[in-house]
């Protein structure tokens, strides 16, 4: 429950509130959301890289398959869109 409350109050990818105190609270939440999305994007990109290396150098049965790769690419698109949306300043 405490973790969920920290997430709801603007926890960034490291689970801590956004550190810049001169930002408005809403902006801190946006930056924390973008930080989490970018951390997720990195994980998905690393999975895609590992899968591609397995496809090139591993046994055929180790490859994740085209549908999984497509899902990982779609996750990259969604996470990028989330980070982009949260970083835009609304006036």
Q: What is the mean pLDDT of residues 15-21?
A: 78
Q: How many residues does the chain have?
A: 91
State residue 91's pLDDT score: 64
> 3-state class of 72 per DSSP?
helix
* pLDDT tens column, 64-89: 999 999 999 999 999 999 999 998 87
Q: What is the pTM of this model?
A: 0.80
**Cα(48)–Cα(32) distance, rounded to whole angstroms?**
24
Domain region containing 75:
2-87
| Residue 10: per-residue pLDDT | 72
Give the CA distances from residue 14 to residues 3, 7, 11, 20, 65, in Å, rounded to whole numbers and listed in that order: 11, 10, 7, 14, 31
Domain total in the chain: 1
């Amino acid at each position: 429950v405490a973790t969920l409350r920290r997430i709801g109050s603007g926890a960034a990818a490291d689970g801590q509130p956004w550190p810049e105190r001169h930002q408005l609270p809403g902006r801190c939440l946006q930056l924390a959301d973008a930080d989490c999305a970018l951390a997720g994007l990195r994980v998905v990109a690393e999975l895609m890289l590992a899968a591609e290396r397995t496809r090139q150098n591993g046994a055929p049965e180790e490859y994740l398959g085209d549908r999984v790769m497509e899902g990982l690419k779609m996750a990259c698109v969604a996470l990028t869109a989330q980070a982009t949306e949260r970083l835009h300043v609304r006036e």
